[in-house]
């Protein structure tokens, strides 16, 4: 079995584990553990701070210990955090352990992205490799939210934590079979100018991408009265489409298309304001997914192409830190905006769409600068 295929399978198991619980955590804090919206927003901001530390330390340990060892330790520790959350089931304990799970999951992502760059050369091959891994990841994402939504609605959120804990352990033997890579240890946040410029629109991109979770679930449940199971089906549709089409789309992508993908993202999230039924939500999530299939592999491939192998772990750690902060900032931003604008959807989703437009423009500028440099 090819190494990239192994990573795709492991990614599928981890994605299944994560997508069972994470689309529902914000809603569970609000509905099950009775935290107010302001506290849920603060949780996502705190998650961002944890991710920041995790990506920096994850990049360091990815170069120091090696990609495979970091992936293994992170997987086991992440599963243990979820299991303890299930066993304790106190509101503050659940919050603390979910933040710990965020830490270990973020460290894993650094090592995973780094090893793909180690195994692959050439921009086209990088895009195809990241597309292949995304197929595995989204196979898990296609199933996880449906399982999570069903378990949540029938057995409660505590059972969701247990299912998530067990799911990530399935393919540990495949992690152990991967070749090990290490880098040069360099404790620094310095990156080249092209990489630094690329990180600016990347942050806004992942603010937009972070809407596919707590923001959409909460809006559709409270405003359009969709059940958690129906929203789980929307998330499943996202995963199924990526499994079916990501590799096909990935073969045709060029760097310039990332701006077009962000414009499609903007239009699709603005359209959420006009969704009034499950059918319309289903149509809209198709376009959200098409945008994701363009933007996500290109973002990872461009980031990897702008790094050097000796310090790839550290550089990808910084990239991961920015993407994680973008995701949680997106959830926190929308959670905050829902206070005054939950029932003013044009304002709410128009603000999200504006982030995508700004990101598209900055990608176009940074891409043009890199092309002029040759």
Q: Confirm whether 182 is domain-assigned.
A: no
The residue range of the domain holding 313 is 3-177+188-373
Count up the domains in the chain and report the number. 1
pLDDT at 187: 53
Residues of 274-294 as b/e, b for ≥16 C-beta within 10 angstroms? ebeebeebeebbeebbbbbbb
Angle at which helices 67-88 and 157-167 cross, to 10°: 160
Q: Confirm whether 71 is domain-assigned.
A: yes
Q: Confirm whether 183 is domain-assigned.
A: no
pLDDT at 49: 87
Closest CA to 26 of 11, 17, 12, 38: 38
Q: How far is CA 225 from the centre of its chain?
A: 26
Return contacts of 277-286, CB within 8 angstroms, 24+ apart.
277/224, 278/226, 278/230, 281/220, 281/224, 281/226, 281/230, 281/234, 282/233, 282/234, 282/237, 285/234, 285/237, 285/238, 286/237, 286/241
The CA distance from 271 to 277, in Å, is 12
Q: Which CATH number is 252's domain given?
A: 1.20.1250.20
Give, for all 374 residues of the chain, the pLDDT tens digit: 788 999 999 988 888 899 899 888 988 998 999 998 888 888 988 887 898 899 888 888 888 888 899 999 999 999 999 999 999 999 999 999 999 999 999 899 889 888 988 888 778 888 889 889 988 887 887 788 889 989 998 999 999 999 999 988 888 898 999 988 776 655 555 667 888 899 999 999 999 999 998 899 889 999 999 988 898 889 888 888 988 999 899 888 998 899 999 999 999 999 999 999 999 999 999 999 999 999 999 999 999 888 877 677 778 888 988 888 898 889 889 988 998 999 999 999 999 999 999 999 999 998 877 777 76
Q: Confirm whether 91 is domain-assigned.
A: yes
The CA distance from 234 to 284, in Å, is 9
Quick check: helix, strand or coil at residue 234?
Answer: helix
Q: Confirm whether 43 is domain-assigned.
A: yes
The answer to whether the predicted template modeling score (pTM) of the entire model surpasses 0.75 is yes
- The answer to whether residues 3 and 179 touch, using CB atoms and an 8 Å cutoff, is yes
The CA distance from 128 to 141, in Å, is 19
- The answer to whether residues 235 and 23 touch, using CB atoms and an 8 Å cutoff, is yes
Closest CA to 217 of 274, 286, 287, 272: 272
pLDDT at 285: 97
The CA distance from 264 to 290, in Å, is 8
Q: Confirm whether 168 is domain-assigned.
A: yes
**Angle CA(97)–CA(98)–CA(102) in degrees, nearest 5?**
115
pLDDT at 296: 94
Q: Confirm whether 260 is domain-assigned.
A: yes
Q: Confirm whether 64 is domain-assigned.
A: yes
């Amino acid at each position: 079995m090819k190494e990239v295929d192994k990573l795709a399978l492991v990614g599928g198991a981890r994605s299944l584990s994560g997508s069972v619980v994470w689309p529902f955590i914000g809603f569970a804090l609000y509905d099950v553990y009775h935290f107010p919206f302001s506290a849920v927003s603060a949780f996502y901001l705190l998650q961002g701070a944890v991710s920041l530390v995790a990506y920096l330390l994850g990049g360091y340990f990815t170069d120091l210990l090696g990609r495979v060892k970091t992936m293994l330790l992170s997987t086991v520790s992440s599963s243990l955090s979820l299991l303890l959350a299930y066993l304790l089931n106190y509101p503050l304990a659940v919050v603390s352990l979910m933040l710990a799970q965020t830490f270990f999951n973020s460290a894993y992502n650094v090592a995973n992205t780094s090893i793909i760059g180690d195994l692959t050369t050439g921009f086209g091959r990088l895009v195809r490799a990241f597309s292949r891994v995304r197929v595995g990841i989204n196979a898990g994402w296609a199933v996880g939210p449906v399982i999570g939504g069903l378990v949540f609605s029938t057995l409660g959120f505590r059972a969701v934590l247990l299912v998530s804990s067990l799911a990530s352990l399935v393919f540990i033997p495949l992690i152990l079979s991967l070749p090990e890579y290490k880098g040069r240890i360099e404790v620094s946040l310095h990156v080249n100018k092209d990489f630094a410029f690329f990180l600016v629109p990347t942050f806004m991109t992942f603010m937009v991408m972070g809407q596919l979770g707590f923001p959409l679930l909460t809006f559709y449940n409270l405003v359009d009265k969709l059940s958690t199971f129906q929203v789980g089906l929307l998330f499943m549709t996202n995963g199924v489409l990526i499994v079916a089409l990501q590799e096909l789309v990935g073969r045709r992508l060029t760097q310039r298309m990332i701006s077009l993908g962000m414009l499609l993202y903007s239009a699709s999230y603005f359209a959420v304001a006009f969704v009034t039924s499950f059918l319309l939500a289903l149509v809209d999530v198709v376009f959200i997914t098409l945008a994701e299939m363009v933007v996500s592999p290109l973002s990872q491939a461009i980031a990897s192409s702008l790094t050097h192998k000796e310090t790839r772990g550290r550089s990808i750690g910084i990239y991961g830190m920015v993407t994680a902060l973008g995701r949680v900032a997106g959830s926190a931003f929308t959670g905050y905006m829902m206070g005054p604008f939950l029932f003013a959807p044009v304002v709410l989703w128009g603000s999200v769409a504006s982030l995508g437009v700004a990101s598209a423009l900055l990608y176009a500028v940074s891409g043009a600068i890199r092309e002029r440099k040759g």
